[in-house]
Amino acid sequence: MESGPVPAAVLVPLFLKADEIHILFTKRTSHLAHHSGEISFPGGRGEPEDVNSAATALRETWEEIGIRPEHVEVLGELDDVRSLHNYRVTPVVGIFPAGYQLTVNDAEIERIIEVPLSHFGKPGVYRTEDWQWQGQRRAMHFYMHGSDEIWGLTARILKQFLDVLHGKDDAQEEECTKPADFSYPPND
């Protein structure tokens, strides 16, 4: 791995369906070397030709799920999030047209998950666990949607997005104040 954080970006893709804003997630295929089977936003590592984070997020979204960059209206960026694997990920929020015909790259993506924004406000959908990693306690965020569990970096970005959306001042990652129940990586 390169020294210093590696620049990367993801798209937080929003769209209108049944008169309600939805968020699109992807479930990664189980054969991938990194983050296999995890739920994520479309995105990835920056390339030299990417002029900025939005270009990275839009290029990766095009490659993974077939949304053309010119069909996404970029609404803004959230604060960068540092991954456990030394990536500096910039979340780019954008909206694409309702009813868009997606073209899923089945070498990377197992399936698409569409979640109404209102779902994240329902009781029992969100929880935190205290994890310890590199001597620091962190709140690990989890969101449930049916049998799908959104966690890790994707959940941190989702929490930041929801906090900003709801006008919360504490949209940054917080440290836990109680003893850690879990460590990373989890003990098998």
Q: How many residues does the chain have?
A: 188
Res. 1 pLDDT band, cuts 50 70 90: very low
What is the rounded CA–CA span in Å between residue 69 and residue 58? 5
Summarised one tens digit per residue, pLDDT across range 108-127 is: 899 999 999 999 999 999 99
Summarised one tens digit per residue, pLDDT across range 44-70 is: 999 999 999 999 999 999 999 999 999
Classify 22 as helix, strand or coil.
Answer: strand
For residues 89 and 182, which has the higher predicted lDDT (pLDDT)?
89
Q: What is the mean pLDDT of residues 144-151?
A: 95
pTM for this model (two decimals):
0.85
- Helix ranges restricted to H, the chain: 53-65, 152-165
Q: What dihedral angle (degrees, nearest 10) is formed by the CA atoms of 53, 56, 59, 63? A: -130
- Residues 10 and 91: beta-carbon distance below 8 Å: yes
In this prediction, residue 136 carries a pLDDT of 80
Average pLDDT, the chain: 86
Res. 31 pLDDT band, cuts 50 70 90: low
- HEC string of 126-162 equals EEEEEEEECCEEEEEEEEEECCEEEEHHHHHHHHHHH
What is the rounded CA–CA span in Å between residue 8 and residue 83? 10
Query: Burial level of 173, CB count in 10 A (0-12/13-18/19+)?
Result: middle
For residues 133 and 33, which has the higher predicted lDDT (pLDDT)?
133
Residue 38 pLDDT exceeds 90:
no
Res. 180 pLDDT band, cuts 50 70 90: very low
Output Rg (C-alpha) for the chain, integer angstroms.
Answer: 16
In this prediction, residue 28 carries a pLDDT of 86
Res. 94 pLDDT band, cuts 50 70 90: very high
Task: Give CA angle at 83 (79, 87), nearest 5°.
Answer: 85
Q: What is the mean pLDDT of residues 164-176?
A: 64
Residue 25 gets which letter from DSSP?
Answer: E
Number of helices (H) and strands (E), helices first, in the chain? 2, 12
Domains (range + CATH), the chain: 6-176 (3.90.79.10)
Cα–Cα distances in Å, from 35 out to 32, 83, 130? 7, 12, 21
Residue 84 pLDDT exceeds 90:
no
